[in-house]
Chain A
Amino acid sequence: KAGVTQTPRYLIKTRGQQVTLSCSPISGHRSVSWYQQTPGQGLQFLFEYFSETQRNKGNFPGRFSGRQFSNSRSEMNVSTLELGDSALYLCASSSGGSGEETQYFGPGTRLLVL
């Protein structure tokens, strides 16, 4: 099976712009979660989608949003970018059954906000 893929791998934006990141889960996986990794805060959970519905949400401002399509692919959007949004954004997929399932991560999208 192909792994989790994320596009683009690298992105440079300026403050105030918006950005959309894409994630394709492992075939058959219905749950997609998004995380932000920064040197100071480590890996922080953004949100999780299952069957096109947001099931769980972390403690991030409303500028961070996401959606999931019927084929389980997911997008994450950040509006009005701030310098502090510079981070590695990771997507993970799982079967999505019980919450005790292993998540498999993609390689991430490195976002730099100037």
Chain B
Amino acid sequence: DQQVKQNSPSLSVQEGRISILNCDYTNSMFDYFLWYKKYPAEGPTFLISISSIKDKNEDGRFTVFLNKSAKHLSLHIVPSQPGDSAVYFCAAPSGGGADGLTFGKGTHLIIQP
């Protein structure tokens, strides 16, 4: 039972254009979402988060949008840069007040020069 889904295993975007990574969730109890970025042989690095009381959160080139009715969130990166090439994970707290996260399977973003 995959509660957080990233349906695109990979995405290729030209440098300078906008990258849009999508994530769907099934558990209506999720009220906080995070995006992590991961390079090979390194641990995930926190990028940006959003609480369910908001529908948008922006941090520099990164913006996360949350559509609660559709149970969908997206990460926009603009403009895309070569260093953005990595695997991006969407995550939500597992619940119960504890700090475990449920992750999607990730989207490998490739920025082409």
Taking Cβ atoms with an 8 Å cutoff, the residues of A that contact B are 4, 31, 33, 35, 41-45, 47-48, 50, 55-56, 58, 90, 92, 94, 96, 98-108
Are A99 and B49 interface neighbours, CB within 8 A? no
Nearest chain A CB to B51 CB, angstrom units: 7
Determine whether the beta carbon of A43 is less than 8 Å from that of B97. no
Q: Tell me, in angstroms, the Cα distance from A58 to B1 when the chains sit together.
A: 12
Query: Do B42 and A45 touch (CB < 8 A)?
Result: no
Q: How many residues of chain B have a CB within 8 Å of chain A? A: 28
Any A CB within 8 A of the CB of B32: yes
Pairwise interchain contact B51-A100, C-beta atoms closer than 8 A = yes
**B44 & A56 in contact (Cβ 8 Å cutoff):** no
Residues on A with C-beta less than 8 A from B105 are 41-42
Known interface pairs A90-B44, A103-B46, A106-B43. Does A44 touch B95 (Cβ–Cβ under 8 Å)? Answer: no
Contact between A103 and B99, CB atoms less than 8 A apart: yes
Other A-B contacts than A99-B98, A108-B42, 4 sampled, CB-CB below 8 A, are: A42-B89, A43-B103, A94-B99, A100-B31
The reply on B102 being an interface residue by CB < 8 A is yes
Does chain A have a CB within 8 A of B83? no
B63 contact set on A, CB distance < 8 A: none
Known contacts A33-B100, A45-B102: A4-B43 contact under CB 8 Å: yes
